[in-house]
Structure 1
Amino acid sequence: MTDLRLVPAGLLVWLACVLVVGVTSAAAAGVAAALAVVAAAAALRGAPPTAWLAVAAAALACGSCALQLHQRASGPLAPLAADRAAVTLEGVVRGEPACTGGAGCRPRVVVAADAVVGRGGRGEVAARVLATGPVEYLAHGARVRLVGRLAPADPGDDVAAVLRLVAPPAVVRPPAGVDAAVGRVRGALLAATDAMPPDLRGLVPGAAIGDTSRIPPDLDRAMRDVSLTHITAVSGSHFAVLATAVAALGSALALPRLARALLTAVATAGFVLLVHPQPSVVRAAVMGAVAVAGVVAGRPARSVPALGAAVTGLLVLDPWLARSYGFVLSVAATAAIALLAPVLAARLQVVLPRWLALAVAVPAAAQAACGPVIVLLEPAVSPYAVLANLLAAPALFPATVLGVAGALLAPWLPGVAAPLLDGGAAACWWIATVARVTADLPGARVPWPGGAGGASLLALATAAGLALALRRRRRPLARPVVALALALAVAVPVLRWAAQPRWVPDGWRVVQCDVGQGDTLVVRSGEGAAVVVDVGPPGRAADACLRRLGVRRIDLLVLTHFHADHVGGLPAVLAGREVAAALVSPLAEPAGQAREARAALVAAGATVSAAGEGAARGQAGEVAWRVLGPPPGAVEPNDASVVVLLAVDGVTVLALGDAEIAAQDALAARLAGDPRARSATVVKVAHHGSATQSRRLAGLLAPAVALVPVGRDNEYGHPAPATVDLYRDRGALVLATDTCGPVAIAADDGALEVTARCLGR
C-alpha cells in the first residue's frame, strides 16, 4: 500500500510558502507563530501525528521565510533598490547567462551579491540579484564587479533586486576550485560538439548537462509543442538514468549494497555540480538522497514518501521554490508517475503487453498532472505529447549517459570522448526527429483558455477522462477496440499530414519561408538556384526550407542587416551550398554578428559587397535585382536594412528588411519618381509587420500579396493589427507565417497563384 503520510506535510508547506514569500518578514513571522501554536495545540489534544507534524512543518517553513525576508530587507540593498539608485555591486555569478525573447533580448544572470556601493556609502549584503545587460560571457563561479541601476524585484521573486548594467561587467576573479573544474568540463563539451549539425550541436549538451544555449529556436518550439522540453531541463528522469547506470556499474563490480548507495550518492552530487543547482535539479537530487538513505538503512525507499520529504525539506530551506513553475512541474510529474502511472499501467495491461502498458502509462500520467500547470504558462495543449514522449523515451538513456561520459572525458581524453559523444548525438538525432515530425502533424498544438480558469477546465477534463478510462468494464471486445484506437491515434494524423496540400507548387517563383520569429525570402533564379534574402534565426529552419525547395546554389544572398533573427541561420544555409555573391548592410552592427557573418561568407567563397559600395543593380540567374535602400547615413541596424527589388517572370518583389519609419519615409520619397518599383506585385512587409509602418510608403504601393514573416506567439505583438489593415486596405492579400506557415507564389500568364496552409491550398 502506498505510504502517503508525508504528502499532507508537503502540500501544506507548499501552500504556506506560496502565500508568505510575497509578504513582509513581520507578516511571515506572524503566520509562523500562529501555525506553531496550532501544531502544539493539536499535538496536546492527541491529534494524529500526520496532521500536527504537517502544520509544524509549515510553521518551520514560514519561520525560515521570515528570517530570509528579514535578511533581504536589512542592509543597504533594499533602500537603494527602492530608490532605483546607481550602484556598484560585487558578488559571485550563480548560474549560466540566459537570454529569452528572441532577437534584441537582454542577457541576464543571477549574482550572489555580497557588497554594494551607492549613494556615497559601501555596505555588506547577502542577497541574490538578477543582473541584465552584457553578461553573456560571464562564467559560473566568477567574482564580478557590476555597475548599473537597481530596481526592486516583484514581490515573491526569488531575487532581492534587479540590476540593469550601464557598463560591461568586470571580472575580479575567475572561477576557482570546483567551479573552475565544472567550467572546464562544460566548455570542453561545447567545444567537442561545436562542429555537429545545428540540432545536435544544441541538443547533445542540452540532454547531457541541461545547457540549452545552442538549441535552434525552431527545434525548441517543436519540443515545446509536443512536451519534450523535460529532456533538456535536467530533472528526475536524468537522475533516474544516472542512478540506473551507476547501479549497473556497481552490480558489474559486485559491490555491496552500502558501496552501491555511496557510489550513487557521489554520482548524484557530482551531477548536481555539473549541471548547476536549478529547482528541478535540486528536487530530484534531494529525493535521490532520501532514496539512498533508505537503501543504507536496509529499507528500500518508496518514491511517494521520498518526494514528500524532498518537497518539505527543500521548501524549508528555500521557500521561493514554491512559486517556481519548474519546481511545481517536476514535483507534479514525479507524483503522477508514482501514484497514477501504476494504476494506468494495470488498466492498460488488459489490452496491451505489460512493457507497452507501462511505457504508455508513464508519459500519460506525467502529462495529465503537468497539463494544467503548462496551460498557465502557455494557453495550449499538446495532443501528441504522450506519443512523442513514448517514441523519444528509448533515446533518453544513451543521450544522457553517453553525453555525460563524453563531457567528463572531453577535457582530458578527447579521443575517447569523441565516439561517446557521437553515440549521444545519434540518440539526440532521434529525439530531434520525433520532435519535428510530431510537431509538424496537424493539430499538434491546440489553443486552450489561459489563466486559472483554463487550468481548472483542463484539470476537470483530465479528471473526467481518467475516471472514464479507469472504470472497470468487462467487454470481450476491449482488446481489439483499444488496439484499433491506438492504431488510429497514430495513423489518422499521419495520413492527414500526408494528404494535406503541398505548399511548394510546380513553377514556384517566390517563397516566404516559415522560420519562426525571423525572416527568409526565396526567389527562384534557375533550376536548383535562388536569390535568398536573409537566413532566419539560429538553427536549421532556413536551411530546411531551402532543402524542400531544392535550392543547391544561391546566386545572390542578401543579408539586410546583422540582427540574429536575420543572419543566425547562416552556418546551416552555407553548409553544402555554393554562394556566388552576397550583398550585406553597410552598417556592421551588432559588431560581433556582422564580423562572424562576413567571415563565414568569405570562407564559403562568396564575393561580399555592402549596399551602396558596389553596383546598385544586377542580374542573378533569372532574377533582376536593384538596391533601393538603406538611406545614406543610417546609424541604427534596422534603418540600415538593405531594401531590394527583385523581378522574375512577371513577379516583382519589394523586400523591406526591418526598415523603421524614417527609412521607409526616405524610400517613399525615392519611389515617388520610380513607378516600376511602386508597382511591385509582392511586398515583404517591414520588420515582421510591427506597428512602425510608414503610411506614406504604403500609400504608394498596391501589391497583390503582402508577406509577413513572424513567429507564432511572439512577445512583440507582431504582426500589429493596424499594419495588417494598412496593407489590406490597399487591396493586398496579407499572409503571415505564424498562421499560414510558408507561403509559395507562382505566376501563370501574369496571374499570381498563392499556396498557403491558411488558404487551404
Structure 2
Amino acid sequence: MSTGLDLRLAPTAAAVWTVTLLGLLVGWGTAAATAVFALLAVPLVWPVSRDRAWARGVLVVLLLAGVAAAGMAVRSYRAEHHPVRQAAQHGERLTARVTLTSAPIPLRGPAFGTQRAQDRALVRAALETADVVGQRVRAGGSVVLLVPTEQWRELIAGQQVTVRGKAAPPRSGELTVAAMQVFGAPTEVSSPPGWQRVAADLRDGLRRTASAELSPAAAGLLSGLVVGDTHALPPEVEQDFETAGLTHLLAVSGANLAIVCGAVLVVLHLIGAGPVLSAAGAGAALVGFVVLAGPEPSVLRAAAMGAITLLALVLGRRRSALPVLSASVIGLLLLLPELATSPGFALSVAATAGLVLLAPRWAAALRDRGVPIGVAEAIAVPLAAHVVTAPLIAALSGTVSLVAVPANLLAGPVVAPATVFGVLATVVAPFSGWLAGLFCWLAAPELEWLVLVADRAAAVPGGSFDWLPGTAGGLLLAGLVVVGLILLRGKRFRVLASVALLLVVLVLVPVRSVVSGWPVPGWSMVACDVGQGDGLVLATGRPEEAVVVDTGPDLERSAACLDRLGVRRIALAVLTHLHADHISGLTGLLGKFSVGAVAVGPLREPAWAMKEVVRDTRAHRVPVVQMQSGQRTSWPGLVLDVLAPDPALARTQTAEDANDSSIVLRATTPAGRLLLTGDVELPSQGRLLASGLDLRADVLKVPHHGSRYTTPGFLHAVRPGTALISVGDGNSYGHPSPFVVDTLTRAGTRVLRTDQEGDIAILPGPRGPRHVSRGDPLRAVDR
C-alpha cells in the first residue's frame, strides 16, 4: 500500500481559495468572469477526463472553482447593491432590527487622548429590517456594530435588538453590507435561544469559579484555554503570550477541540466502547464544545481543523488527512467565504497541515534515533506547527521569533490537562461549586507554569528579530524554510545546522544587545518611541533604576523600551495627565517591573482613567501619590522640581482641561536641565510665563506632541538647545505643527522626533547635552 501523500484535492482547495479572494477583494464582476471561464472550460476537458487521471483532476478544479466563483459573484453583487450599503456610502443614519451573531467583543489596542479602545465593542449581526430614508427595507445581510461596551455587555448571540446609528462602508474584503456606529443602548431586546443562554451561563460559571479559586493570571488564562475568552486576562500576561509565540493557546483552535475529543475517546476506550460508540462520543463532544464556545466562524473553523487533527494524530490515518483538510477548506470557504481573508484561517490551515503531514514523519525519525515515545511527539508537534506558520506570522507581524519553539515545547505537556480540567469545571459548575473548584485547583499548577513560561520567554534578550513585512517577507522566509528542509535531509547539513543553532542561542542572541550600541552608557533621559503618545525615562543614578514620565498609548512599547535600557525598578511613575496616550502603558509596567509609586496631578479626570489607575495600582499594591507645584523629589543622579499644576485650579477644572492640567517637571540631570511639559496648552503656558519661574532648559520635551497650541513666547523663555517631540509616525492629528518646528529651528534649536529617530537618549557631552538614536551609535552628536 502506498504511503505517499494524496494531493488530489489540494489544487482544488487552492483554486477555490483564490477565486474566493478575487470575489472579496476585486468585486463581483471579476468573480462572475472567472465563473463563466471555468464553467465554459468544463465541456472542453470532459471528453479527455474519461481516460486521463490529470484531466479528471482539472475537471474537479474547474467545477468547484466555477461554483465558488459564481457564488462569490452573487454574494458580492448583493452586498455591493444592498440598500443599506448605498445608505452607508452617504453616511446616513439608520434604524435597524438585527439578530446578534456574536457577543460584544471589547476592542483592544492603542488608545489616544480621551478615548480608550475598551470603551467600544464590536458586535456582528444579521440584518432583519432597516429604515432607510424613511422606507422600511426587508433584506438580509450581515452588519458590524461598534457599540458602547458598558451598555451592551450583557447581550449574547441569538438575541434580536433594535439599534440606531450612523452607517459607514465596511472594510475591504468583507461581505458585510455596512458598519454602524451606535452610541446608545439597544432597544426592544428579545430573549436569546435557550441553548445560547445555557452556553452563556456555563461560560459565566467558569469565570466565577476560576476567579474565586485562581490567581488573576491563571483565571483569565483558563477561560482563554477553554472558550477563547481573554477579557479577564491581565493585559501584560496577554502581551507575554504574544511575544513568546503562545497566542494560539488563548483562542479556540483545532488543538483545543482535539484535546477534548481525544480525552473523550480515551475514556470510551478504557470502558471498552466500540468504534461506533467512540466515534459518536467524540462527535458529541465536538458539537458540545462548539455550542459552549459559540458557533462563530472562528469556532466552526476550529471544529473542522480539530476533526482533521484527530483523524491524523489520534486515529493515525496520515494518508487520508490531506484530502480531508482540502475538503474542509473547500467546504468552509463555500459556507463562510470571508474566511479567505482571515489570518486566523490561514494560520489554522497551515498549522493543521504541519501537524498531519510533518509532525508524524518527524516524530518517527526522532524515535528511530532513540528519542523516547512521547518526547519525540512533544518535539515534533510544535516544531512542525512553527515551521509552517512562521512565514505567515512574519508577513503579518514583520518579526521572526526565536523563542516560539522552545516556549511551545515547555508549554505543550500541560496544555491538555489544563484544558480538560477547565472543561470539566465548566460542565459541573452549575451543579456543584466545590467540584468545579476542585477541577480549577487541579488546573492551577499547569496554568501557573504556562504563565511562567510566557513571562520568561518574553524576557529573553533578542528573542525575536525584525523581518521584511508583507507578502514579500512571507515568501522570502517560506523559500528559506523550504531550502532549509531540503538541505536538512543530508546528515552533513544537519550537523552544520545544529552547530549554527547552538551559535545563535549561546553566542549571537546574548551578544546582540551589546554590539547594537544600545543602551548607550551614561544616558540621563530617553524619549521612548511609543507611537502617538509620551513615554520618557529618567536615570536616577542607581543601577537598573529609573523614573518614568508617562507610559504611552499601548501595553507593549513602553515596557519594551525599559527592557532595552536594562531597567529593573521604577522608583516613580509620573502620569502627567490622565489621557489614554499617556497612561495606557501603565498596566504593562506594573506587571513587569517593581514600581515604587505612581504620581498623578490634582485633577482626577477623566473619571474612567483614574478608575483604571486605581484598579491597576491596587492589584499590584503600588501607592498612588499626588504631585503639584512646589514639590521636589531627588535621587543620587536626578532632581525633579514640580512647576505645575496649581492644586487650586483643579477645583474649577473638568475633564476637558486635562491637557492643560498636565504635571510640568524640571529635571536636573548630569546631562543638564530638562523641561518636561506633558500636554500643557496656551493657558498653562501663560501661567508659567507669568509665574516668574526660571524656565530655561537645555532640553525641552515639546508640549502636546508639537501641536500648534504652543506659543513662541513660551519657546523663547525656555531657549532649549535640543527639543524632543514624541509623536507617532503618520498620525492623523497633523503633529508636529510645521509652525512649531520652524519656530524652534529658526531659534537654533535642534529638533528631534521619535517618529524619525526612534528611541532618543540624552547624555552628557563636552559642550552640553548630546543625543544618540537607538540602533545608530555613530550618530552621537555633541551640541
TM-score scaled to structure 1, two decimals? Answer: 0.80
After superposition, the CA RMSD in angstroms is 4.9
Residue in 1 aligned with 2:59?
52
Q: Does 1:563 align with 2:580?
A: yes
Q: Answer yes or no: is the 8 Å Cα contact 1:261–1:292 preserved in 2.
A: no
Residue in 2 aligned with 1:254?
272
From the superposition, tell whether residues 394 and 717 of structure 1 become closer, same or farther in structure 2 (CA, over 3 Å): farther
From the superposition, tell whether residues 398 and 599 of structure 1 become closer, same or farther in structure 2 (CA, over 3 Å): closer
Q: Percent identity?
A: 29
Distance in 1, Cα, partners of 2:482 & 2:176: 36
Distance in 2, Cα, partners of 1:8 & 1:17: 14
Name the SS of the counterpart of 2:105 in structure 1. Answer: coil
Which digits, 9 at most, give the CA deviation of each residue in 1:469-520, with x for residues without a partner?
23x34x5xx7866654444443235643797899999999878789888666
Residue in 2 aligned with 1:636?
656
Residue in 2 aligned with 1:459?
478
Q: Answer yes or no: is the 8 Å Cα contact 1:624–1:647 preserved in 2.
A: yes
From the superposition, tell whether residues 600 and 286 of structure 1 become closer, same or farther in structure 2 (CA, over 3 Å): closer
How does 1:596-745 map onto structure 2 within 5 Å?
596-597=612-613, 616-620=629-633, 625-629=641-645, 636=656, 639-647=659-667, 653-657=674-678, 659=679, 663-673=680-690, 677-680=694-697, 683-684=700-701, 686=703, 689=705, 694=710, 696=712, 697-701=714-718, 730-731=749-750, 739-740=758-759
Q: Answer yes or no: is the 8 Å Cα contact 1:261–1:295 preserved in 2.
A: no
Q: Does 1:102 align with 2:102?
A: no
Name the SS of the counterpart of 1:381 in structure 2. Answer: strand
Residue in 2 aligned with 1:93?
100
Name the SS of the counterpart of 1:150 in structure 2. Answer: strand
Which of 1, 7, 14 aligns to 1:11? It is: 14
From the superposition, tell whether residues 587 and 255 of structure 1 become closer, same or farther in structure 2 (CA, over 3 Å): same
Name the SS of the counterpart of 1:172 in structure 2. Answer: coil
Amino acid at match of 2:404: A
Q: Does 1:161 align with 2:182?
A: no
From the superposition, tell whether residues 621 and 190 of structure 1 become closer, same or farther in structure 2 (CA, over 3 Å): farther
Name the SS of the counterpart of 1:157 in structure 2. Answer: coil
From the superposition, tell whether residues 372 and 541 of structure 1 become closer, same or farther in structure 2 (CA, over 3 Å): closer
Residue in 2 aligned with 1:447?
466
Residue in 2 aligned with 1:178?
195
Q: 340-349 or 504-513: which moved more?
A: 504-513
Question: Any unmatched runs of 5+ in structure 2?
Answer: none
Give the Å deviation of 1:173.
Answer: 2.6
Give the Å deviation of 1:74.
Answer: 6.6
Distance in 2, Cα, partners of 1:180 & 1:442: 46
Q: Does 1:334 align with 2:349?
A: no
Which digits, 9 at most, give the CA deviation of each residue in 1:650-671, with x for residues without a partner?
77554333x2xxx433344344
Question: Any unmatched runs of 5+ in structure 1?
Answer: none
Residue in 1 aligned with 2:434?
415
Which of 598, 602, 605 aligns to 1:588? It is: 605
Name the SS of the counterpart of 1:156 in structure 2. Answer: coil
Q: Answer yes or no: is the 8 Å Cα contact 2:236–2:592 preserved in 1.
A: no
Q: Answer yes or no: is the 8 Å Cα contact 1:291–1:302 preserved in 2.
A: no
Which of 500, 505, 512 aligns to 1:490? It is: 505
Q: Answer yes or no: is the 8 Å Cα contact 1:341–1:362 preserved in 2.
A: yes
Give the Å deviation of 1:566.
Answer: 0.5
How does 1:300-311 map onto structure 2 within 5 Å?
302-311=320-329
Q: Answer yes or no: is the 8 Å Cα contact 1:629–1:642 preserved in 2.
A: yes
Distance in 2, Cα, partners of 1:276 & 1:715: 37
Which digits, 9 at most, give the CA deviation of each residue in 1:113-157, with x for residues without a partner?
211112111122221111124246443323322211212324531
Residue in 2 aligned with 1:271?
289
From the superposition, tell whether residues 8 and 350 of structure 1 become closer, same or farther in structure 2 (CA, over 3 Å): same
Q: Answer yes or no: is the 8 Å Cα contact 2:759–2:774 preserved in 1.
A: yes
Q: Answer yes or no: is the 8 Å Cα contact 2:297–2:336 preserved in 1.
A: no
From the superposition, tell whether residues 118 and 685 of structure 1 become closer, same or farther in structure 2 (CA, over 3 Å): same
How does 1:197-346 map onto structure 2 within 5 Å?
199-200=217-218, 202-289=220-307, 302-345=320-363
From the superposition, tell whether residues 391 and 329 of structure 1 become closer, same or farther in structure 2 (CA, over 3 Å): same
Residue in 1 aligned with 2:85?
78
Residue in 2 aligned with 1:126?
140
Amino acid at match of 1:129: V
Residue in 2 aligned with 1:140?
156
Distance in 2, Cα, partners of 1:236 & 1:309: 16
Amino acid at match of 1:114: E
From the superposition, tell whether residues 171 and 264 of structure 1 become closer, same or farther in structure 2 (CA, over 3 Å): farther
Distance in 2, Cα, partners of 1:517 & 1:395: 39
Q: 343-352 or 408-417: which moved more?
A: 343-352
Amino acid at match of 1:146: V
Name the SS of the counterpart of 1:21 in structure 2. Answer: helix
Which digits, 9 at most, give the CA deviation of each residue in 1:21-52, with x for residues without a partner?
34665764554354334335533432534332
| Number of corresponding residues | 743
Distance in 2, Cα, partners of 1:360 & 1:8: 30
Q: Answer yes or no: is the 8 Å Cα contact 1:239–1:268 preserved in 2.
A: yes
Distance in 2, Cα, partners of 1:149 & 1:634: 29
From the superposition, tell whether residues 496 and 354 of structure 1 become closer, same or farther in structure 2 (CA, over 3 Å): farther
Amino acid at match of 1:445: S
Residue in 1 aligned with 2:401?
382
Distance in 1, Cα, partners of 2:513 & 2:87: 60
Give the Å deviation of 1:88.
Answer: 0.8
From the superposition, tell whether residues 457 and 500 of structure 1 become closer, same or farther in structure 2 (CA, over 3 Å): closer
Q: Answer yes or no: is the 8 Å Cα contact 2:265–2:278 preserved in 1.
A: yes
Q: Answer yes or no: is the 8 Å Cα contact 1:280–1:330 preserved in 2.
A: no
Amino acid at match of 1:694: T
From the superposition, tell whether residues 708 and 184 of structure 1 become closer, same or farther in structure 2 (CA, over 3 Å): farther
Amino acid at match of 1:134: P
Which of 100, 111, 116 aligns to 2:130? It is: 116
Name the SS of the counterpart of 2:681 in structure 1. Answer: helix
From the superposition, tell whether residues 601 and 288 of structure 1 become closer, same or farther in structure 2 (CA, over 3 Å): closer
Q: Answer yes or no: is the 8 Å Cα contact 1:64–1:317 preserved in 2.
A: no
